[in-house]
Chains A and B, each alone.
Chain A
Amino acid sequence: DTAVSQTPKYLVTQMGNDKSIKCEQNLGHDTMYWYKQDSKKFLKIMFSYNNKELIINETVPNRFSPKSPDKAHLNLHINSLELGDSAVYFCASSPRTAGGNNSPLHFGNGTRLTVT
Chain B
Amino acid sequence: SQQGEEDPQALSIQEGENATMNCSYKTSINNLQWYRQNSGRGLVHLILIRSNEREKHSGRLRVTLDTSKKSSSLLITASRAADTASYFCLYDKVIFGPGTSLSVIP
**A→B interface (CB under 8 Å):** 4, 33, 35, 40-45, 48, 56, 90, 92, 94, 98-102, 104-110
Chain B residues lying within 8 Å of A109, measured Cβ to Cβ, are: 40-42
**Chain B residues touching A, majority SS:** strand
**B→A interface (CB under 8 Å):** 3, 30-31, 33, 35, 37, 40-45, 48, 50, 86, 88, 90, 92-96, 98-99, 101
A107 lies within 8 A of B98 (CB): no
A45 lies within 8 A of B95 (CB): yes
A94 CB to nearest chain B CB (Å): 7
B93 lies within 8 A of A98 (CB): yes
B36 CB to nearest chain A CB (Å): 11
B86 lies within 8 A of A102 (CB): no
A86 CB to nearest chain B CB (Å): 16
Q: A96 vs B30: C-alpha distance in the bound complex, in angstroms?
A: 14
Q: A108 vs B33: C-alpha distance in the bound complex, in angstroms?
A: 17
Chain A residues lying within 8 Å of B31, measured Cβ to Cβ, are: 102
